[in-house]
Copies of this chain bind each other. A is one copy, B any other.
């Protein structure tokens, strides 16, 4: 008896996936270099050479039984210790390896963190615009996703709406800074105000409210600033990270949950995550991936291309009359569409071989997302198409 709930999920096809398939098909007709594909957040710069060299060294020097043996179910101790140490050094935290649980990217980290701190029926708040996969991570755990409307002025937090929506059933807030899709980086002021509100609400409701901080873009920030480390502001924080973007390793699925040492049951979070994994038969990222990434924890790929692309696009878009919050990080920009119906807008853009993603699935109508993790040369070539598209339609 095939499970009908999962079967039904097959009907709803991801818009981003459909657009990306269009881009691939169109690429076969006119050459992919002529399709201005801004649909997918797939890093466009190579992994640091040290990663490749380190992997080859592991394969050549370690005994195969040691290298490919079972990882302990909570992760390889030396890897967890190295991650803790790296975070402590960079952000002045006091993690031990026991606070770290290795996961399959930030996706796995967020899904585990949600299950850790909610029970079925609990509410998890997130802020529009938000990454659409938060829906399955939360709703398939039995908790309920509630979306706080966007602050479209700055894509910081709409505190008025948040105050209205937070209630006794709120078990967690899920935030994402630097943000996909807006590119906004939450300021120190935003994070301070948010943590004060949460502290107050914890007292009012008499229970913990966790902050689940999804931060795969933590290292992609512009103008030389650093994104404030969320866990510094609020004790009950679970930081969810991925090396997909910073090391350009999206396919290798390596990330972690880091439980603030001062959060409730801080030392147990990792063990609870282990139990969650157990039910789905998933025991940690592969040993060689854990060991390979641990060798290059403090490196990043050369991500300067993303800032260069952002500046080119931001200038062109504002010159063309788009209303647009300047991204502080990530490789996304989120301008307002030139008509109310973002899907219609993006459909028209396809005739110019511009693949843009309408904002509806991000929880905000009337905007579109461009993922500019592509070559700068292609960004530059796309400007002419963008100009024609706007001129001929609006």
Contact across chains for A110 and B10 when beta carbons are under 8 A apart:
no
Docked Cα-Cα span, A6 to B116, in Å, equals 8
Decide yes or no whether A285 CB sits under 8 A from chain B.
yes
How many monomers of this chain does the complex have?
2
Which residues A130-162 have CB closer than 8 A to chain B? 133, 136-137, 139-141
Residue on B with the closest CB to A119? B3
Decide yes or no whether A111 CB sits under 8 A from chain B.
yes
Contact across chains for B107 and A248 when beta carbons are under 8 A apart:
no
Contacts of A268 in B (CB 8 A): 2, 7, 10
Contact across chains for B64 and A47 when beta carbons are under 8 A apart:
yes
Decide yes or no whether A281 CB sits under 8 A from chain B.
yes
Docked Cα-Cα span, A2 to B2, in Å, equals 32
A275-314 near B? 1/0 per residue, CB < 8 Å: 1101111111111110000000000000000000000000
Contacts of A10 in B (CB 8 A): 268, 271-272, 275
Q: Which candidate, A88-96, A224-232, A250-258, is the interface stretch facing chain B?
A: A250-258
> Given A56-B60, A281-B108, does the pair A70, B117 have CB atoms closer than 8 Å?
no
Contact across chains for B171 and A251 when beta carbons are under 8 A apart:
no
Decide yes or no whether A351 CB sits under 8 A from chain B.
no
Docked Cα-Cα span, A279 to B5, in Å, equals 12
Decide yes or no whether A208 CB sits under 8 A from chain B.
yes
Contact across chains for B64 and A248 when beta carbons are under 8 A apart:
yes
Given B43, B65, B133, B281, which contacts A44 in the complex, CB threshold below 8 Å?
Answer: B65
Decide yes or no whether A393 CB sits under 8 A from chain B.
no
> Given A133-B278, A280-B111, does the pair A286, B253 have CB atoms closer than 8 Å?
yes
Contact across chains for A265 and B111 when beta carbons are under 8 A apart:
no
> Given A4-B119, A286-B252, does the pair A280, B108 have CB atoms closer than 8 Å?
yes
Contact across chains for B122 and A288 when beta carbons are under 8 A apart:
no
Contact across chains for A110 and B281 when beta carbons are under 8 A apart:
yes
Decide yes or no whether A9 CB sits under 8 A from chain B.
yes
A1-29 near B? 1/0 per residue, CB < 8 Å: 11111110110000000000000000000
Contact across chains for B288 and A252 when beta carbons are under 8 A apart:
yes
Decide yes or no whether A369 CB sits under 8 A from chain B.
no
Contacts of A3 in B (CB 8 A): 115-119, 272
Contacts of A343 in B (CB 8 A): none
Contact across chains for A69 and B42 when beta carbons are under 8 A apart:
yes
Docked Cα-Cα span, A108 to B108, in Å, equals 14
Contact across chains for B108 and A282 when beta carbons are under 8 A apart:
yes
Given B47, B65, B282, B285, which contacts A280 in the complex, CB threshold below 8 Å?
Answer: B282
A59-93 near B? 1/0 per residue, CB < 8 Å: 11001110111110000000000000000000000
Q: How far is the CB of A57 from chain B (nearest CB, A)?
A: 10
Decide yes or no whether A179 CB sits under 8 A from chain B.
no
Contacts of A248 in B (CB 8 A): 64-65, 68
Docked Cα-Cα span, A195 to B281, in Å, equals 27
Contact across chains for A287 and B70 when beta carbons are under 8 A apart:
no
Q: List 17 A-B residue pairs with CB atoms under 8 Å apart, sorted by A's residue number.
A: A2-B116, A2-B117, A2-B268, A3-B119, A4-B119, A6-B275, A10-B268, A43-B65, A52-B59, A56-B59, A56-B60, A108-B281, A141-B279, A251-B287, A252-B286, A252-B288, A253-B286
The 5 closest A-B pairs by CB, nearest first: A140-B279, A251-B287, A107-B281, A111-B281, A46-B64
Residues of chain A having any CB pair with chain B under 8 Å: 1-7, 9-10, 42-44, 46-47, 52, 55-56, 59-60, 63-65, 67-71, 103-112, 115-119, 122, 133, 136-137, 139-141, 171, 207-208, 210, 248-254, 264-265, 268-269, 271-272, 275-276, 278-289
Known interface pairs A1-B118, A10-B272, A43-B65; 9 further A-B residue pairs with C-beta atoms within 8 A, sorted by A's residue number: A1-B117, A10-B271, A46-B63, A52-B59, A68-B251, A105-B281, A112-B281, A136-B275, A252-B286
